[in-house]
Amino acid sequence: MTASLSPLVILAIALGWLCAFVLFWVMVVSLLAWISGWRALAARYRDLGLRERYSRQRVSGSLRGVGYNHVLRVHQDTHCLYLAVHPLFRIGHPPLRIPWREIERREERNFLGWPRTRLRLGRPPVADLVLPGAVLDAEPS
């Protein structure tokens, strides 16, 4: 004799798993924002304007050792560096607008043949951002 689950029980289990996954996702992404220093940067440099276009998208980089692989959006002009993440990771990661006067270019180096740029963000420093060298090579618009 086999017992079968009613469709209502199956639906409740599926919704429970979905809610658990969403809660887990929110917790992990929020924790990464805190560990990386993004939340501390947002307290000072949150971009309240809605920027529709970023000159570079799907950029990889890291903040305090937390890798943001292919989810960063980067734009620069003569006044500021703009950073945002892909919308799926936006929880705890509001867009940033960091004035260049608050950024110190620390070093240019190669990692396994790939040029990398390390920027110290904030005065006093909040976090170091590491980006591919080519991202900041172009003149700001």
User: Is residue 68 in some structural domain?
Assistant: yes
Query: What type of residue sits at position 79?
Result: H
Q: What share of the chain is helix, strand, coil (3-state, %, to 5)?
A: 35, 40, 30
The percentage of residues in the chain with a pLDDT greater than 70, rounded to a whole number, is: 91
Q: pLDDT means per 10 residues in the chain (141 residues)?
A: 76 93 95 95 88 81 93 90 92 93 81 82 90 72 54
Side-chain-side CA neighbours of 72 within 13 Å: the count stands at: 23
Containing structural domain, residue 79: 36-135
Domains: count for the chain: 1
Q: Is there a domain that residue 20 lies in? A: no
* CATH number reported for the structural domain that contains residue 101 in this entry: 2.30.29
Q: What dihedral do alpha carbons 39, 40, 44, 47 form, nearest 10°? A: -20
Q: Identify the CA nearest to 132 among candidates 117, 113, 121, 111.
A: 117
- Does residue 7 belong to any structural domain of this protein? no
Whole-model pTM: value is 0.82
